Amino acid sequence: MIGVLAAACIVAVLAGQARAITVLRRPDPVAVHRVRPTPAPAPVPDEPMGRVIDVLRRRRWLRHSLSFASVVIGLVAVGMIGYPFYTNLYADRRQGELERQFASDDLQQAYRDGAIQEGDSLTRIIIPAIDVDVVVVEGTTPSALRAGAGHYVSTPLPCEDGNVGIAGHRTTYGRPFHNLDLLSPGDEIILQTPIGECRYAVTEESPLIVRPTDVSVIQPTVEPTLTLTTCHPKGSARQRLVIHATRVGEATAPPA
């Protein structure tokens, strides 16, 4: 959505400049009247910007200001397109590093010892219904979430009893939770850890929309639960979209 708006801004700026240049190059009726004794042509009745063009012809500083504003708007539009592109490239590179770490023996031992550090690989989340397959890091600080998705450190480790919480970006940094709102009750979510694997099913009440300050969604639960959170609506942090899922069966050994 941001990219579409930015592209529309660029097109509008270029079209406006082209229109202004075309009209400004037309002969000035007043100047033609000075050269030739014939009467100046009558104003074109269907010219909606006649007054504006006349003002621009007579005031050079206004033309320069308009050109400067067009350049600024163009740069802002390019930035709007470039920023998500840059963050997605960064997340892709980070995911490559996390993939290698996730497969290491050192991480498996650190997981068993409870010594996973913020920003380290913690679990892989797979959601077949919306084609999600990313490595989740420990922590939800801005630096940790640049990997795409992070585990709330105040919640249990993946596949453990209680309410496991994971937050993810929706429009930047790989946007792993871009289509989280498309999940339906019963859809499967798989968590793979260095020492096991478990499965969850989306609950009937999902998805939920809550305030960003509402932390009740990740409060402890008796039933083994998984909670996913992301920004809502897309491109805004005004609200939070929440998915709840309950664990199906027990954790199993990791796939070979």
Q: 118-165, pLDDT tens digit by residue? A: 999 999 999 999 999 999 999 999 999 999 999 999 999 999 999 999
For CATH 2.40.260.10, list the domain ranges present in the chain: 108-252
Q: What gap in Å lies between CA 229 and CA 209, rounded to an integer?
A: 10
Six-digit token string for 44: 């074109």
Q: Which portions of the chain are predicted below pLDDT 50? A: 4, 13, 20, 23-24, 30-33, 35, 42, 44-46, 75, 79
pTM exceeds cut of 0.95: no
Q: What gap in Å lies between CA 215 and CA 210, rounded to an integer?
A: 9
What burial letters (b/e) apply to 47-86, b meaning 16+ CB within 10 Å?
Answer: eeeeeebbebbeeeeebeebeeebeeebeebeebbeebee
Peptide bond into 233 cis (omega under 30): yes
Q: What gap in Å lies between CA 122 and CA 115, rounded to an integer?
A: 11
So what's the pLDDT on residue 85?
Answer: 79
Indicate the CATH number for domain 108-252: 2.40.260.10
Q: What gap in Å lies between CA 159 and CA 169, rounded to an integer?
A: 22
So what's the pLDDT on residue 39?
Answer: 56
CB 254 within 8 A of CB 192: yes
Q: What gap in Å lies between CA 158 and CA 191, rounded to an integer?
A: 7
Distance of CA 132 to CAs 10, 55, 124, 170, Å? Answer: 32, 56, 10, 12
So what's the pLDDT on residue 205?
Answer: 92
Beta bridge partners of 200: 189, 247
Closest CA to 125 of 47, 187, 32, 207: 187
